Amino acid sequence: MCCFSQPVDYVAGTNIFARPAKGSGQYLVYSMTLKVGTDLAMILPIPTPKASKEDAVDFLNLEKYPDFFEDMRTGFPMPRPLSRSKDDTPPPAAAAPKLKVVEVGSFVASFVPTVKDFARLDDQFKLPEGTWGKLPQYKEYGFAVFKLKKGEHKVHPMAFQFPRADERKLFFPTVHIHDGKVHERAGFDHSLYAQGADTMGRWTESPQPAEMFMTKLDQAKGIVAGKDHVYRRQMVGTFKNEDVWL
């Protein structure tokens, strides 16, 4: 879920990576390009166990690996066009007390255990009054909150590890709230990447294991399994405004 506490001028090029962590945990890495006119918060609801403690989420600093997703993208090279004779036709184109704040590279982050704990954040980092009432699916969720500065910039990958309420599933936060309103459908410009899911459906598998194209694996904080292949799903266009599960 890409939720912003204030209206944004634009958001594009969203990338999300997910992989199971030890026990019931999950790694999540998030990156996008955006332009905003004021300081705000990006809020990611995460399916944590009920009554998780305030230190349940471990934020990971990927400031030294800003090209995390650029490298991951190279693991999925564009197929070369087949050679053809003059008679061939070309192939078709592919369509209370303040919450704990943690410094994570160029931004600060907090874990908000429940919806009611948003009262402990400054007003500019909250969603408009009544928004959560329109999203009952997040009633029992926790929330990773990243405070971002105004301006036009590409945010270096935001990464964290969290305990899952259901360790059988991988979660991708893809619901949009960019203007303070909850829309039934939304425009997507997303590339989703995953490792370790039980079933990948129609996701595309990388031809090589991650260690062959993740050039700074030693800076990835253990998030990526180097010996495993990566799977990708691209979502570009208008889709139902909901999260993705594997």
Beta-carbon contacts of residue 218 (< 8 Å; ≥ 6 apart): none
Please check whether residue 85 lies inside any domain of the structure: no
Task: Provide the residue range defining the domain that includes 139.
Answer: 2-78+98-245
**90 belongs to a structural domain:** no
Q: Which residues contact 47 (CB under 8 A, 6 or more apart)?
A: 141, 164, 165, 166, 171
Task: Note whether residue 91 is domain-resident.
Answer: no
DSSP state of 120: G
| Cα distance between residue 7 and residue 37, in whole Å | 8
pLDDT over threshold 70, residue 96: no
What is the pLDDT, as a whole number, of residue 93?
Answer: 44
How far the first Cα of the chain sits from its last, in Å, is 15
Q: How many domains does the chain have?
A: 1
Query: Is position 92 within any domain?
Result: no
Looking at per-residue pLDDT, the higher value among 7 and 166 belongs to: 166
Determine, yes or no, domain membership for 167: yes
User: What average pLDDT does this structure show over 34-59?
Assistant: 90
Q: What is the pLDDT of residue 9?
A: 82
Indicate whether 84 belongs to any domain: no
The pairing of strands 40-46 and 2-4 is antiparallel
* pLDDT, tens digit, 9 for 90 and up, residues 107-153: 788 899 999 998 888 776 777 777 888 888 999 999 999 988 777 66
Least confident stretch, 43-52, 78-87, 151-160, 208-217: 78-87
Instruction: Classify strands 10-20 and 185-194 as parallel, antiparallel or unpaired.
Output: parallel
Whether 235 is in a domain gets the answer: yes
* Most confident stretch, 48-57, 99-108, 141-150, 220-229: 220-229
pLDDT tens-digit profile of 173-223?
998 876 667 788 988 899 999 999 988 988 999 999 999 999 999 999 999
In a domain, 211, yes or no: yes
Residue 52 pLDDT more than 70? yes
